[in-house]
Amino acid sequence: MIKVAPNSREITFDRQELIVSKTDLRGKLTYANRVFMRVSNFSEADLLGKDHSIIRHPDMPRGVFYGLWKALKSGQEFFGFVKNITSDGHYYWVFANITPDVVNGEKVGFFSVRRTAPKGALQVIEDIYRQMRDKEKGFPPAQAPEASWNWMVQNVLETRNQSYEQFVIELYQEHSQGGAR
């Protein structure tokens, strides 16, 4: 897919707003709320049926999506900071939660709710993501996502004795108190 070139303009949204989407089991969009469309500047017709990677920003390390799908495929939910791209090449950061979407007891896809990401947390996260991208450059494409995820587990999580979920939730809570944005 040909995508617009990324630029340095940040798009923000209010602290009380939620960006919501749903996908099928493979990550194809089946629903997006109004806030999603406004912030990403994609219409419903642009989004539905497309892969969620339509808003993937090239600054995101592939290892984060490796961790995301590993969690979802093993039946766990995922929390994390994600930099997304808009249809005009601008960017916006979110703190995302993804859970299985269960209808009548059957898993039909995934459900994601995102809040604005506090600036203080992003200072920590951007530094880690930069190092993960650097790590990925040293590996063949097929091995890079797992390698950078493992680097993060060993160098960020194990030194703190935390799971990824504990680490990102703590970072979010620490910086979202007192109106950080």
> Applying CB under 6 A, does 98 fall inside the site for ligand FMN?
yes
Q: How far is the CB of 114 from ligand FMN (least distance, A)?
A: 7
Q: Strand locations in the chain, DSSP E?
A: 19-24, 29-32, 78-85, 91-103, 106-116
Using the rule CB under 6 A, is 172 a contact of ligand FMN?
Answer: no
CB neighbour class for 119 (10 Å; exposed up to 12, middle 13-18, buried from 19): exposed
User: Contact between 132 and ligand FMN (CB under 6 A)?
Assistant: no
> Which tokens sit at 77?
């939910």
SS3 (DSSP) at 44: helix
- Binding residue for ligand FMN, selected from 42, 81, 110, 149, defined by CB under 6 A: 110
Q: Please report whether residue 115 would count as binding ligand FMN according to CB under 6 A.
A: no
Does 7 participate in binding ligand FMN (rule CB under 6 A)? no
Within 10 A of 102 (CB to CB), how many other CB atoms are there? 11
81 binds ligand FMN (CB under 6 A): no
Q: How many Cβ atoms sit within 10 Å of the Cβ of residue 98?
A: 24
Identify the CA nearest to 130 among candidates 66, 60, 79.
60
- Per CB under 6 A, 23 contacts ligand FMN: yes
Nearer to ligand FMN, 29 or 171 (CB): 29
Identify which range of 51-59, 120-128, 158-166, 167-175 contacts ligand FMN by CB under 6 A: 51-59
Interaction between residue 27 and ligand FMN (CB under 6 A): yes
In the complex, the smallest distance separating the C-beta of residue 1 from ligand FMN, rounded to whole angstroms, is 9
